[in-house]
């Protein structure tokens, strides 16, 4: 039986994602992927990276952490999930730090 759909961030969910998910460079950004810590189904989050020309935004610090919403987007069925949605509903903001400008 799968976990019911619930929009929440369980204790330790974001830490588990940060420890177990992989990050891959893809066209226009990054792909974060792994198994959802709650439902244990494969999931991924795409992050579009917007690059600007040097000097385009004064004071922009590309080394500071950027909050990224990571959401379970698994393809499995979850009881109570609203129509048109995917995943089990669990999500969290993680701090993403780029290693290149």
**Structure confidence at residue 65 (pLDDT):** 73
- The answer to whether residue 35 is domain-embedded is yes
Residue at 57 is within a domain:
no
pLDDT band at 33 (very low <50, low <70, confident <90, very high): very high
d(CA 87, CA 77): 8
Residue 29: pLDDT band by 50, 70, 90 thresholds?
Answer: confident
Higher-pLDDT residue of 57, 98 = 98
Confidence of residue 54 (pLDDT cuts 50, 70, 90): low
Could you tell me what percentage of the chain is helix, strand and coil, using 3-state DSSP and rounding each to the nearest 5? Answer: 10, 35, 60
The reply to whether 56 falls in a domain is: no
Q: Does 59 reside within a domain?
A: no
Residue 31 sits in which domain range? 1-49+64-101
Asked whether residue 55 is assigned to any structural domain, the reply reads no
Distance (Å, rounded) from C-alpha 58 to C-alpha 60? 6
Tell me, yes or no, whether 18 lies in a domain. yes
Tally the domains of the chain: 1
Q: Is residue 28 part of a domain?
A: yes
Residue 59: its pLDDT value, please?
46
In a domain, 82, yes or no: yes
């Amino acid at each position: 039986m799968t976990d019911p759909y619930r929009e929440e961030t369980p204790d330790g969910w974001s830490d588990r994602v940060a420890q177990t998910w992989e990050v891959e460079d893809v066209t226009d950004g990054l792909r974060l992927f792994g198994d959802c810590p709650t439902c244990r189904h494969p999931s991924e989050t795409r992050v579009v990276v917007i690059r600007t020309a040097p000097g385009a935004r004064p004071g922009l610090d590309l080394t500071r952490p950027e909050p990224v919403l990571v959401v379970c987007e698994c393809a499995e069925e979850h009881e109570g999930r609203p129509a048109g949605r995917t995943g089990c509903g669990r999500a969290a903001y993680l701090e993403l730090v780029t290693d290149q400008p």
